[in-house]
Structure 1
């Protein structure tokens, strides 16, 4: 194995998703993931505490971008408009490489109860961070919590549609996110 090559973290994620798809999450070991990525086990553990944490690779960045987008939304923006600003900002980190990995990630999550739980925790963490950013803008807590949950749901729906769409590689996830949020806003308005 090479002593050091750039991109080890990304290679670990790709290797794990490939192995999860080929042989299942439970049958995949950290050693196999490291070997497939061309790194040592100790390199794996420099990036991830365990194989479950591969699912949340990039979550800190995603959370930061969502909350920064909310914080930087124009003064007077409605809670959902602030969430939309966060979604647009976060979508910017999702390029063609993330789009290519999405179907394998979805399949791995669907096949493992442990990864489904981890994904639910990831979504709850994103929602809590978005709600806190809205509260910091002066949005009352119940409104902030509801807007954040709609934001998480919109992002998930957008990511799923974006990753499955046969559109052009340059299709912008932000467009999908704004469309999903608009659909959810209309659905919420029809609840009365």
Structure 2
């Protein structure tokens, strides 16, 4: 097995465990048992448990950011629907890691948070602003988009854990949520003198 393949196996074992426990509760012994390797082999690839935790969560973050970066061309609503489908795809692919990533971050990205998931949240907000051609959003529009990313995360977390809503319904519903939230924001902004 190549060095990269072994690293990937250890990361996969960690992500699998993170799906059932918070990352800080997973030990080196848990990971080596899941990956069926020795402790010395673990330390050959990762200098510390913290380094493995960060690499595992970065794997999920990179997958989400990469998916957001490859938005389709077309009208804003189609692009947004494609982006939401992409997020659902990545969350489903990295199910355990996505759950762990959300557990490790703040509830919502603000200008002062720096959790790994915030990179994804901030990129999602940037892409929506870009798709809607809003170069200088008002604070209320930014707040709306940040809140919507929290709605998306909560919905994906529930969907991954409970699976009670059909996938096709989830995609459209999330986009409809954003449309409704932006309409409410527009109405509020129109009231300003």
TM-score, normalised to structure 2, is 0.61
Provide the residue aligned with 1:10 in structure 2: 12
Q: Which runs of 5+ in 1 are unaligned?
A: 110-114
Query: Take 1:12 and 1:26, find their aligned partners in 2: how far apart are those partners?
Result: 11
Closer, same or farther: CA 56–91 of 1 in aligned 2, 3 Å: same
Provide the residue aligned with 2:150 in structure 1: 153
Among 104, 116, 135, the residue aligned to 1:122: 116
Instruction: Tell me the alpha carbon deviations over residues 88-107 of structure 1, each in whole angstroms, 9 at most, x when there is no partner.
Output: 22323344x645x389748x
Provide the residue aligned with 1:180 in structure 2: 174
Instruction: Tell me the alpha carbon deviations over residues 119-138 of structure 1, each in whole angstroms, 9 at most, x when there is no partner.
Output: 95233211322344456655
Provide the residue aligned with 1:142 in structure 2: 137
Closer, same or farther: CA 87–151 of 1 in aligned 2, 3 Å: farther
Query: Take 2:105 and 2:130, find their aligned partners in 1: how far apart are those partners?
Result: 30
Closer, same or farther: CA 183–136 of 1 in aligned 2, 3 Å: closer
Q: Is the 8 A contact 1:87 1:177 kept in 2?
A: yes
Among 51, 57, 60, the residue aligned to 1:58: 60
Compare CA radii of gyration and give the structure with the larger one: 2
CA shift for structure 1 position 65: 0.8
TM-score, normalised to structure 1, is 0.62
Closer, same or farther: CA 159–51 of 1 in aligned 2, 3 Å: same
Provide the residue aligned with 2:28 in structure 1: 30
CA shift for structure 1 position 66: 1.4
Closer, same or farther: CA 82–44 of 1 in aligned 2, 3 Å: same
Q: Does 1:86 align with 2:80?
A: no
CA shift for structure 1 position 156: 0.7
Query: What secondary structure sits across from 2:90 in the alignment?
Result: coil
Closer, same or farther: CA 27–66 of 1 in aligned 2, 3 Å: closer
How much is the aligned-residue C-alpha RMSD, in angstroms? 4.1
Query: Take 1:119 and 1:82, find their aligned partners in 2: how far apart are those partners?
Result: 23
Query: Take 2:108 and 2:13, find their aligned partners in 1: how far apart are those partners?
Result: 21
Query: Take 1:147 and 1:73, find their aligned partners in 2: how far apart are those partners?
Result: 24
